Structure 1
Amino acid sequence: MAFYTVMIPPPGSGGARDEIEQARLLPETFTWSAFFLGGLWLLVQRLWLATLVYALLWGALLYASNRLGLTTGALMIAHWTMALFLGLEGQNLIARKLARQGWRLADVVEARDLPEAERRYFERALAGEAVPPRLPLPAARPQPAGPVPIIGLFPEARGR
């Protein structure tokens, strides 16, 4: 079973039903296309800042290879490290981009595949269960009136 993060658009994009219909489900899995395609995948996903960082890293690696004599093995290790990072964090980069654009986390769904995840989310959302309940803030703890015992090297608290 895989987990899917459900992101819904900003509040002003329509009614509750429109937000549910426009929801994006992002799988919390390894992104093989990001692993193999790297910068091209970033461009296709329109992750401009991440693409810029990726290009700058490659530029720095090529500069280090030409000027500082970085070996081919070191370049390969750097390439596979960046590819592994993109594979592991690719969906998270998309979720962060959506969050910066005002999208909100609506739900996390566990399912075997995307159609099942969509079905589960839509069933819960249309029934009104997908909106997480607002938890009350915890009440402040009362402070003790007397001296507070200190554990450690100093036996008394002295406002230092």
Structure 2
Amino acid sequence: MTTFTLHLPRDAWPGDPTALDEAELVKDAFSWGAFFFTFLWFFFHRLWLAGLGVLVLVFAFGMALELLDVHPVAGTIAALLLQILIGLEANSLRRWTLARRGFPIADVVTAADRDEAEAKSFARWLEQRPATARPPVSTSVPSTPRRLDPVIGLFPDAERSR
């Protein structure tokens, strides 16, 4: 079973089926595409800043290995470890970029594959009721008068009892 995150626009109302047109489903697992293709995977998913950061990181890492005159076997192992790190963090960077663009995480589901995760998350989204804009206003008079001065501190009522 794999975990997936559902990202929807920030202004989407629960239960709104039109919000699912812009939905993004991101797998929370190792990304083989990012492992093999590094910055090209990021550019393919339109993750421009993360892709540029990974591109600079890969080239700077290669130059540092050259400048330090690292043995070729050790350099290959170090480059492989960098690729593994990129594969592990690629989907996290994708979630970060989506949140930055106004698509925060709306739901988290566990499923066997992407199709099942999409069906589960969309069904859970659609069965939610839209929230009301404001709670109903009570017409009863409050039992204690409201304080008009600003509250400073965590327990302003304790100050009155002294």
For normalisation by structure 2, the TM-score amounts to 0.70
Question: Is 1:123 aligned to residue 144 of structure 2?
Answer: no
Within 5 Å, which residues of 2 pair with 1:6-21? 6-11=6-11, 16-21=16-21
* Structure 2 unaligned blocks of 5 or more: 132-153, 156-162
Q: Which moved more, 1:36-45 or 1:73-82?
A: 73-82
- Deviation string for 1:23-52 (max 9, x for gaps)? 111111111111111122122122222222
2:105 partner amino acid: L
Aligned to 2:105: 105
Aligned to 2:94: 94
Within 5 Å, which residues of 2 pair with 1:45-124? 45-124=45-124
Q: 1:66 to 1:29 in 2, by over 3 A?
A: closer
Q: Is the 8 A contact 1:61 1:75 kept in 2?
A: no
Give the superposition deviation at 1:54: 2.3
- Find the residue that maps to 1:103 and give its secondary structure: coil
Q: 1:9 to 1:17 in 2, by over 3 A?
A: same
For normalisation by structure 1, the TM-score amounts to 0.70
User: What is the percentage of aligned positions where both structures have the same residue?
Assistant: 35
Q: Is the 8 A contact 2:109 2:121 kept in 1?
A: yes
- Find the residue that maps to 2:29 and give its secondary structure: coil
Return the alpha-carbon distance in structure 2 between the equivalents of residues 5 and 56 of structure 1: 28
Aligned-pair RMSD on alpha carbons?
2.8
- Find the residue that maps to 1:61 and give its secondary structure: helix
Give the superposition deviation at 1:63: 2.9
* Structure 1 unaligned blocks of 5 or more: 132-139, 142-160
Aligned to 2:3: 3
Aligned to 1:44: 44
Q: 1:75 to 1:17 in 2, by over 3 A?
A: same
- Deviation string for 1:51-109 (max 9, x for gaps)? 22223223323433444323322321231122111211111111100000111211101
Return the alpha-carbon distance in structure 2 between the equivalents of residues 58 and 9 of structure 1: 32
Q: Is the 8 A contact 1:2 1:112 kept in 2?
A: yes
Q: 1:55 to 1:19 in 2, by over 3 A?
A: same
Return the alpha-carbon distance in structure 1 between the equivalents of residues 22 and 84 of structure 2: 30
Within 5 Å, which residues of 2 pair with 1:135-150? none
Give aligned pairs, total. Answer: 135
Q: Is the 8 A contact 2:16 2:126 kept in 1?
A: no
Give the superposition deviation at 1:16: 2.7
1:99 partner amino acid: A
2:127 partner amino acid: A
Higher relative contact order (CA 8 A, sep 6+): 2
